[in-house]
């Protein structure tokens, strides 16, 4: 016979079980719809899956995950989000570029975005503290970082006078960051040349358009940029353009330097949002989080190829120096 204390312990344990574990008999597993910007960014996905596992959500046992990727094509987000809605997933995880599309497709299924440039300004949430509706997630503060990134670039390129800014103009978030980079550069007394792309085929003409007109290149991150980052780095080196890039991965693949949110931490944090929602929390009541750590990475091999000398003081501040 079970004593009262033991009964209370068992009931408490049962209440704490993940929704997925209780849903296994007899219904289907809770399902996460993961809409990625590109398979080229799948390197960060294991951090998301592992953190889910740490929290009790084991793929195939206590949770199912439907993976879809837009491959850098902004227009595909609506189509894929609609597909996930028809599959009746329990929560949709989506990059900032696809969050608005997902929000237009459903006002019921919870949506967790990651790496949003300006979630309030873009209309994804009502406020960071109380998002409201069915959407919440993580910001990357990319807009706020624009000035800092240009200042860092100037330390490596002391003669910087003309700055080119490359972005996917079909992505509102990338366009917003491009505008902020223009503003920040102008405040620093730099002449700005903007170069927009929408498809991979636009890259060569975009670089031709800035040939001989810029001393350095500021690259705005998004799904299209991720799919083309090796080509962007190759073209930039060919045009003798020092680059400021979105992430450490970009720098490791041949870019000059990057400054941004620490990866893959945002993907671990995204898993924690999903955990809360699957356990019953309302997305509109989960505050949007902002990154607390930013990484500076510098590629000395690329600096040498460009004939640049990185100041020792900057190297000392770098989180990673790639040689």
Determine the pLDDT at residue 19.
Answer: 43
In this structure, what CATH number is given to the domain that contains residue 157? 3.40.50.2300
**Co-location of 280 and 227 in the same domain:** no
Per-position DSSP letters for 227-239, written without gaps between them = HTHHHHHHHHHHT
Per-position pLDDT tens, the chain of length 323: 444 444 334 334 333 334 443 344 446 899 999 999 888 777 789 999 999 999 999 999 999 999 999 887 878 999 999 999 999 999 999 998 889 999 999 999 999 999 888 899 889 999 999 999 999 999 987 778 999 999 999 999 989 999 999 999 998 889 999 999 999 999 999 999 999 999 999 999 999 999 999 999 999 998 899 899 999 999 999 999 999 999 999 999 999 999 998 878 889 999 999 999 999 999 999 999 988 888 999 999 999 999 999 999 999 999 999 99
Residue 74 and residue 101: Cα distance in Å, rounded?
9
3-state class (DSSP) for residue 174: helix
Cβ neighbors of 26 (< 8 A, separation 6 or more) are: none
What sections of 188-309 are H helices per DSSP? 203-210, 223-227, 229-238, 248-252, 265-278, 300-305
User: Is 290 among the domain residues?
Assistant: no
Helix axes 76-86 and 96-105, enclosed angle (nearest 10): 50
φ, ψ of residue 54 in degrees (nearest 5) = -60, -30
Domain count, the chain: 2
Determine the pLDDT at residue 15.
Answer: 38
pLDDT tens readout for residues 229-264: 999 999 999 999 999 999 999 999 999 999 998 878
**pTM listed for this prediction:** 0.82
**Co-location of 203 and 279 in the same domain:** no
Residue 20 and residue 59: Cα distance in Å, rounded?
10
**Co-location of 300 and 278 in the same domain:** no
**Co-location of 19 and 151 in the same domain:** no
**Co-location of 204 and 133 in the same domain:** no
């Amino acid at each position: 016979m079970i004593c009262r204390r033991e009964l209370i312990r068992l009931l408490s344990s049962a209440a704490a079980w993940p929704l997925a574990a209780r849903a296994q008999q007899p219904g289907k597993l809770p399902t996460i719809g993961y809409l990625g910007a590109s398979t080229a960014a799948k390197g960060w996905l294991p951090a998301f899956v592992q953190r889910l596992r740490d929290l009790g959500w084991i793929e195939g046992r206590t949770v199912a995950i439907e993976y879809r990727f837009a491959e850098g094509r902004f227009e595909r987000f609506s189509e894929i989000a609609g597909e996930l809605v028809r599959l009746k997933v329990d929560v949709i995880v989506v990059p900032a570029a696809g969050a608005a599309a997902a929000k237009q497709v459903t006002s019921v299924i919870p949506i967790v975005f990651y790496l949003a440039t300006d979630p309030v300004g873009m209309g994804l949430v009502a406020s960071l503290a109380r998002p409201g509706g069915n959407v919440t997630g993580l910001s990357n503060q990319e807009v706020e970082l624009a000035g800092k990134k240009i200042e860092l670039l100037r330390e490596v390129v002391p003669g910087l006078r003309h700055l080119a800014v490359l972005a996917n103009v079909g992505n509102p978030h990338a366009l917003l960051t491009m505008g902020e980079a223009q503003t920040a550069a102008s405040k620093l007394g730099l002449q700005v040349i903007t170069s927009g792309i929408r498809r991979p085929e636009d890259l060569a003409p975009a670089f031709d358009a800035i040939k001989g007109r810029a001393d350095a290149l500021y690259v705005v991150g998004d799904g299209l940029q991720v799919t083309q980052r090796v080509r962007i780095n190759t073209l930039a080196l060919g045009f003798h353009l020092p680059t400021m890039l979105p992430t450490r991965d970009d720098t490791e693949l041949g870019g000059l330097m990057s400054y941004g949110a620490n990866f893959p931490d945002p993907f671990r944090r995204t898993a924690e949002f999903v955990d809360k929602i699957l356990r019953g929390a309302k997305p509109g009541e989960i505050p949007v989080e902002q990154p607390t750590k930013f990484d500076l990475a510098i590629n000395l091999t690329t600096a040498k190829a460009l004939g640049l000398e990185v100041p020792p003081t900057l190297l000392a501040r770098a989180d990673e120096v790639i040689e």
